[in-house]
């Protein structure tokens, strides 16, 4: 049985990923500071829990001991918060990632799989973007993820660590009650009968990927034999404007005419983004199959049961 450490395993993506890893018979350890995620999300799962901070050398060393693979999800994940506080973002994301990489090399970890981002890292480019697109991040969050990718490449080159880089689209699904992104905000607004707030004129677009599809992609990346520091976009390949998303969420909640209001666009957020996933399809057979309406219906059901 192989042993995997999932950093940030009590967060949104971690909580969706852990059951899939257990189904595949991995022994799983989680490192999480619980600053954003929740232990309730992983209640009843047969995982070892280590409470600690990815920025702390002692916590990192404790967490990687005896582990074959690190799936590194822990991060400060908000574009808007990174614009307000770029220094904390830097300490958490490039700083925390460098610390986890060093601990992994020292402990003889075989591979290190990293959760990067598509849209925020590449910035305002003509979509669909792919692994050949030139990264020009316009937010500290995007810049920090690009720096992390640089370190993943450097640790493969300098220390022979088998690193892999996944660039996620905008992920949505169960266990996202604490998130600040559009799907969570829109579901909460519709349920509370408050207007859905869009920043900008509603034409900004994103690539929304359902968690089950993403997590199948993560396990595929972890298990694939890839060249060191391979970068793969895990995305739906579909472009959806935030106005379309707002209408879909309202319809899912049974209020198709729900009020939508517009506010000024926020700095640091890209205008259009969606990504092609051909390389992931070719290398790991990535094939996202959950349509947006179906995924939103499942997400709404989870919120109704656990949050609303
Ligand atoms: N959700 C998305 O749409 C999306 C898109 C692109 C990339 N990503 C990346 O995927 C990863 C997971 O995202 P998520 O949506 O699950 O985020 P999340 O905030 O729900 O989960 C992050 C987890 O990391 C933990 N954490 C944060 N800082 C920590 C620290 N210093 N030490 C230890 N634990 C810490 C939090 O408590 C939380 O449980 C992140 O790296 C994020 O940047 C997410």
d(CA 298, CA 173): 7
Is 114's C-beta closer than 6 angstroms to any atom of ligand 1? no
Question: 194-213 pLDDT, tens per residue?
Answer: 999 999 999 999 999 999 99
Q: Does residue 176's CB lie within 6 angstroms of at least one atom of ligand 1?
A: no
Site to probe by mutation for ligand 1, drawn from 6, 8, 56, 234 as the one with most ligand atoms within 8 Å of Cβ, is 8
Q: Looking at the predicted structure, is the pLDDT value of residue 150 above 90?
A: yes
Q: Is the CB of 75 under 6 A from ligand 1?
A: yes
Atom of ligand 1 nearest to the CA of 209: 3
Report the separation in Å between the CA atom of 210 and the middle of ligand 1, taken as the mean of its atom positions.
16
CB 261 within 8 A of CB 196: yes
**What's the fold here for domain 174-206+238-275+291-306?**
UDP-galactose 4-epimerase; domain 1 (3.90.25)
Of ligand 1's listed atoms, the one at least distance from the Cα of 52 is 33
SS3 of residue 153 by DSSP: helix
| Interior/surface letters 200-234, b for 16+ CB within 10 angstroms, e for the rest | bebebbbbbbbbbbbbbbbbbbbeeebeebbbbbb
CA–centroid distance, residue 254 to ligand 1 (Å)? 31
Domain at 3-171+208-234, CATH homologous superfamily: NAD(P)-binding Rossmann-like Domain (3.40.50.720)
76 Cα to the center of ligand 1, angstroms: 6
pLDDT tens digits, one per residue of 104-148: 999 999 999 999 999 999 999 999 999 999 999 999 999 999 999
pLDDT of residue 138: 97
User: What is d(CA 299, CA 188) in angstroms, rounded to the nearest whole number?
Assistant: 12
Give CA 287 to chain center in angstroms: 18
The string of pLDDT tens digits covering residues 61-114 is 999 999 999 999 999 999 999 999 999 999 999 999 999 999 999 999 999 999
- Percent of the chain scoring above 70 in pLDDT: 100
Cβ 180 under 6 angstroms from ligand 1: no
Angle subtended at Cα 306 by Cα 301 and Cα 308, rounded to the nearest 5 degrees = 80
For residues 196 and 249, the answer to whether their CB atoms sit within 8 Å is yes
Tell me which long-range contacts 186-192 makes (C-beta under 8 A, separation of at least 24): 186/245, 186/246, 186/249, 186/250, 187/249, 187/253, 187/299, 187/300, 187/303, 187/308, 188/303, 188/307, 188/308, 189/258, 190/249, 190/250, 190/253, 190/255, 190/258, 191/253, 191/303, 191/308
Whole-angstrom distance, CA of residue 107 vs CA of residue 68: 9
Distance 52 CA to ligand 1 centre (A): 14
Residues 197, 94 contacting (CB under 8 angstroms): no
Q: What is the pLDDT of residue 308?
A: 80
CB atoms within 10 A of CB 154: 15
Asked whether residue 1 carries a pLDDT value surpassing 80, the answer given is no
Q: Which helix (H) or strand (E) holds 106?
A: helix 96-107
For the chain, residues classed under CATH 3.90.25.10 are: 174-206+238-275+291-306
- Look at the block and give the residue holding tokens 């506080």: 85
| CB-ligand 1 contact for 96 (6 Å cutoff) | yes
Measured distance CA(31)–CA(39) in Å, rounded: 11
Percent of the chain with pLDDT over 90: 99
Which atom in ligand 1 lies closest to the alpha carbon of residue 37? 39
Ranges for all domains in the chain classified under CATH 3.40.50.720: 3-171+208-234
Give the distance (Å) from ligand 1 centre to CA of residue 137. Answer: 19
From 12, 85, 112, 275, the mutation candidate for ligand 1 (largest count of ligand atoms within 8 A of CB) is 12
Q: What confidence tens digit (pLDDT) does each residue in 236-276 have? A: 999 999 999 999 999 999 999 999 999 999 999 999 999 99
Percent helix, percent strand, percent coil in the chain, to nearest 5: 45, 20, 40
**If you average pLDDT over residues 277-294, what whole number do you get?**
98
Q: Which positions ≥6 away from 39 have C-beta within 8 Å?
A: 10, 49
């Amino acid at each position: 049985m192989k042993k995997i450490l999932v950093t940030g395993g009590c967060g949104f993506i971690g909580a969706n990923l852990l059951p899939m890893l257990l189904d595949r018979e991995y022994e799983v350890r989680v490192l999480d500071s619980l600053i954003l995620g929740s232990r309730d999300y992983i209640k009843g799962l047969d995982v070892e829990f280590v409470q600690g901070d990815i920025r702390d050398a002692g916590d990192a060393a404790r967490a990687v001991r005896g582990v074959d693979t690190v799936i590194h999800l822990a991060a400060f994940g908000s574009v808007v918060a990174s614009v307000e506080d770029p220094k904390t973002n830097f300490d958490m994301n490039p700083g925390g990632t460098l610390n986890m990489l060093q601990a992994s090399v020292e402990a003889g970890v075989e591979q290190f799989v990293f959760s990067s981002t598509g849209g925020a890292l590449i910035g305002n480019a003509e979509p669909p973007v792919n692994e050949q697109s030139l990264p020009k991040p316009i937010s500290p969050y995007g810049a920090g993820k690009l720096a992390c990718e640089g370190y993943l490449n450097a640790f493969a080159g300098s220390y022979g660590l088998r690193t892999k880089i996944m660039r996620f689209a905008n992920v949505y699904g169960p266990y996202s009650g604490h998130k600040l992104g559009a799907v969570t905000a829109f579901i909460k607004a519709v349920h509370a009968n408050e207007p859905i707030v869009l920043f900008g004129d509603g034409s900004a677009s994103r690539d929304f990927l359902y968690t089950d599809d993403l997590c199948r992609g993560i396990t595929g990346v972890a298990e694939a034999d890839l060249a060191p520091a391979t970068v793969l976009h895990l995305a739906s390949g579909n472009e959806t404007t935030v106005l379309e998303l707002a209408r879909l969420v309202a319809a899912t909640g049974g209020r198709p005419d729900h009020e939508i209001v517009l506010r000024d666009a926020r700095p640091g957020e890209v205008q259009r983004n969606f990504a092609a996933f051909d390389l992931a399809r070719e290398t790991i057979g990535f094939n996202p199959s959950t349509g947006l309406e179906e995924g939103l219906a499942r997400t709404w059901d989870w919120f109704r049961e656990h949050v609303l």
